Amino acid sequence: MKRRIIYIVLSFILLISLAGCMSDENDKNSETKPIITTTLFPQYDFTNIIVGDKFEVVLLLPPGVEAHSYELSPKDMKTLLSSDIFIYTGEAMEPWVSNILETLEKEDIYVLDLSENIKLESFNYPSHDDLDHEDSQYDPHYWTDPMNAKIMVDEILKAVVSIDKNNEEYYNQNANKLKDDLDRLDEDIKRVVNNSESNTIISGGHFALGYFANRYGLEYISPYEGFSPNAEPSAQAIAKIMKIVKETGAKAIFYEELIDPKIAKTISEQTGIEMLELNAAHNVSKEQLETGIHYVDIMYKNLDNLKKGLGYHE
């Protein structure tokens, strides 16, 4: 009996000292901000721009990690459960979300599926029957179309305002400024495409800019089918691309971000054409994250590369 009392007293002391530590932590952060957790870089970036310093915005993907191979870790699940809002791309990009939706709803977390108001297309799946999810027949990269990005901004704005109505005006202003930037980007892309010799993007990687190409009337060729980062293209597919490069006099071979561009490198070495990055902005490197790069910056860098690769004339 005595021992038990001692145990209880000790536990109590431990609890008090723990609580002490915790309040110290809180003091350091002055006030605890509500958390918005996002899956991919585009929604992380848009959310950050809209909320300014009023929320803490978390990107689940560690910097530099290839998005399609991401798996939810217990640590990330903990982060998710402490969030006020969870923003994801959709079933095709993050099939794991369906397994935790019920749990998130029970915790009263505002769950936003950004694909809900987007017209999804099935680019890049010409002959795949081996798909696990029916929904994954959709090309998940809709954010590469800046006009879809504007729809995402509106959806994020709605979610944020529903949690913090007091700062609605501030969020509206930030969102409007971002949408103006996206409109300007759209105009600039149109101008470049309309004043270029070629309208065909020759890619040595998984081609994730189907929505982008579709909006601006660009054609694209890739040796890959689908988006699995582990799938290898066939030798015939690579040979076919080399033939097209020679026949069309293409100026550049494009490669994707954050993956070893070995196919583009082979094609570049064998044909002598330049290698240029076409970044689909799934995720960014640690360096880019630290310098505060934005989706719009990535798209302008792509536009510079497209100017070179497609033969742009002022």
Chain contacts with Zn ion (rule: CB under 5 A):
208, 227
CB of 288 to Zn ion, least distance (A): 17
Distance CA 185, CA 115 (A): 21
Place of tokens 């749990």: 103
- Residue at shortest CB range from Zn ion: 208
CB of 280 to Zn ion, least distance (A): 6
**Token couple for 266:** 């082979």
Using the minimum distance from each CB to Zn ion, give the nearer residue, 46 or 207.
207
Using the minimum distance from each CB to Zn ion, give the nearer residue, 86 or 227.
227
Using the minimum distance from each CB to Zn ion, give the nearer residue, 59 or 208.
208
Nearest Cα neighbor of 289 from 115, 73, 62, 132 is 62
Using the minimum distance from each CB to Zn ion, give the nearer residue, 210 or 309.
210
Using the minimum distance from each CB to Zn ion, give the nearer residue, 69 or 166.
69
CB of 245 to Zn ion, least distance (A): 24
**Token couple for 228:** 């699995």
CB of 140 to Zn ion, least distance (A): 7
Nearest Cα neighbor of 308 from 263, 258, 250, 256 is 250
Q: Which of 53-62's residues contact partners 24+ apart within 8 Å by CB, and which partners?
A: 54/164, 54/167, 54/170, 55/84, 55/85, 55/160, 55/164, 58/83, 59/283, 59/289, 61/282, 61/283
CB of 66 to Zn ion, least distance (A): 8
Give the count of beta carbons closer than 10 Å to the beta carbon of residue 120: 18
DSSP state of 195: T
**Token couple for 265:** 């490198």
Contacts of 109 (CB under 8 A, 6+ apart): 80, 81, 83, 84, 85, 86
CB of 150 to Zn ion, least distance (A): 21
Using the minimum distance from each CB to Zn ion, give the nearer residue, 65 or 192.
65
